[in-house]
Amino acid sequence: MIIVNATITVKPGERDNIILKSNDLIELTRLEAGCISYKLFASTEDDNVLMMIEQWENFEDLESHMQTEQFLAYAEDIEDMIDKNIDIAVYSADKI
C-alpha cells in the first residue's frame, strides 16, 4: 500500500475556498482504480494548514491519479491560494 501525506499551507482567507474545491476532487478520486482512501483534514493548531491523506493499492495507481483531468485542474485551481509549495511525503506500507 502507498500512503501520501500532502500538507497544504493556504494563504490567509483561502482555507474555505480550498476545502470547497477539494470536495469534487475527493469525490472523483475515490472512484479511481486503486484508491483505498482519500481524505482532507484541517489542522487544529493552524487554520491555514490542511492535509490530504491518501491510501493507494500501488504506486502505479497513484501515478495514474496524478495525471487525471480532475487532479491537474485542481492543482491549477488552488495554485494562487496556497502560501508555499505543497509538502508531500510518500510512504510504502504493509498491512499487518
Contacts of 79 (CB under 8 A, 6+ apart): none
* pTM listed for this prediction: 0.92
End-to-end CA distance of the chain: 11
Give tens-digit pLDDT for 16-30.
Answer: 999 999 999 999 999
Strand boundaries in 1-96, DSSP class E: 2-9, 35-42, 49-56, 87-92
56 class by beta-carbon count within 10 Å (0-12 exposed, 13-18 middle, 19+ buried): buried
Q: What pLDDT score does 96 carry?
A: 85
What distance in Å separates the CA atoms of residue 94 and residue 89, rounded to the nearest whole number? 17
Q: Which CATH architecture has domain 2-92?
A: 2-Layer Sandwich (3.30)
User: What is the distance between the alpha carbons of residues 4 and 29, in angstroms, rounded to a whole number?
Assistant: 14
Q: What is the pLDDT of residues 47-81, one digit of tens each?
A: 999 999 999 999 999 999 999 999 999 999 999 99
